[in-house]
Amino acid sequence: MDICTTEIGSTKDGSNQVIELKAIKINKDFSEETLCYKAKLYVDGKFFAHIENEGRGGGDSQFPTDPHTYEDLKKLDEKCKKYLPKWEYSLDAKLDGDTKKCDTDLEHWCCITLDKYQIYKEYQRDVKGKVLIVDPKEPKKIRQFSWKGVRKITDRYIQSIRDKFPTYKILNTESDGFETYYNLLK
């Protein structure tokens, strides 16, 4: 599963362009108001730019790699705004219920992708040492089971939970386990 890859818009030949973050390095210790990170942006499999944020509340810094230019970055940003789904926000939905729709630019896509990347790392750590289940009667809640001294979950542990809770969804074994986990935590 490649959670750091997204297809956007059409190219001249009608195919979608693929953007991807790789070589992601996150430093939570230096993150103050925003996430402190460095990553490499690839477009259609080619190294396109260095992306980074110092974690002090400012925007991302984007540095194109040769032969790409800042104009190429600007075009990619416009393509993101045009083809990626809009995102909604409300300053105070409880008071006014009024939400605004905004374009997803390249910087916001990086933010969303890094968030998903961090949750994916958390999910990998959790399913390694715990059995995660979702009750069909309470689909917005994840229950976790772990055993003292057990560092790695094997089929034996999963089967014991399946025997006790036959109607529950076991995230460790489901093909959409991460998507369920992500949607419940985001």
Judged against a pLDDT cut of 90, whether residue 127 lies above it is answered with yes
How far CA 73 is from CA of 16, 47, 58, in Å, comes to 17, 12, 19
CA distance 145 to 131: 5
Structural domain ending residue among the three candidates 90, 110, 144: 90
- Classify residue 100: in a domain, yes or no: no
Same structural domain, 148 and 86: no
- Cis ω before 67 (30° cut-off from 0): yes
Domain of residue 44: give its range: 5-90
More confident residue, 52 or 1: 52
Same structural domain, 9 and 85: yes
pLDDT of the residue at 97: 65
The predicted model gives 36-49 an average pLDDT of 97
Give tens-digit pLDDT for 67-112.
999 999 999 999 999 999 998 877 665 666 677 889 999 999 999 9
Judged against a pLDDT cut of 60, whether residue 29 lies above it is answered with yes
More confident residue, 97 or 161: 161
pLDDT of the residue at 94: 60
pTM: 0.86
pLDDT of the residue at 101: 86
- Classify residue 118: in a domain, yes or no: no
Structural domain ending residue among the three candidates 90, 112, 143: 90
Q: What is the mean pLDDT of the chain?
A: 92
pLDDT of the residue at 12: 65
CA distance 180 to 61: 32
Structural domain ending residue among the three candidates 90, 117, 147: 90
pLDDT of the residue at 11: 65
